[in-house]
């Protein structure tokens, strides 16, 4: 699903992330990469690709590698949605 709003809908974002990070039951806006068992390099790339597609943005590599929490992901999405 494509999200066009400038304000990030955290509930929908978490739905996207739950599909990527399977078995992450306690996934929340406060989650960090170290807390999510399936947050590895491959799933990180999948997350960025899916976020880019759903939000119609293009997060560059430099920003991508800085994302190590859901809050940072949200801030990055907001940066690109401007």
Contact (CB, 8 A) for 4 and 40: no
Which of 56, 61, 65, 53 is CA-nearest to residue 19? 53
Per-residue model confidence (pLDDT) at position 4: 54
Neighbours of 63 (CB within 10 A): 15
Q: CA neighbours within 13 Å on the CB side: how many for 71?
A: 3
> What are 42-61's pLDDT values in tens digits?
999 999 999 999 999 999 99
Per-residue model confidence (pLDDT) at position 69: 97
Cα(59)–Cα(22) distance, integer angstroms: 23
Per-residue model confidence (pLDDT) at position 25: 76
Q: What is the mean pLDDT of each run of 10 residues along the chain (82 residues)?
A: 63 91 86 93 97 94 97 95 82
pTM, rounded to two decimals: 0.88
């Amino acid at each position: 699903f494509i999200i066009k709003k400038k304000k990030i809908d955290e509930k929908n974002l978490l739905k996207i992330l739950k599909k990527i990070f399977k078995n992450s039951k306690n996934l929340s806006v406060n989650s960090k990469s170290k807390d999510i068992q399936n947050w590895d390099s491959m799933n990180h790339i999948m997350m960025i690709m899916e976020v880019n597609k759903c939000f119609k943005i293009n997060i560059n590599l430099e920003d991508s590698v800085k994302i190590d929490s859901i809050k940072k992901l949200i801030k990055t999405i907001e940066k690109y949605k401007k």
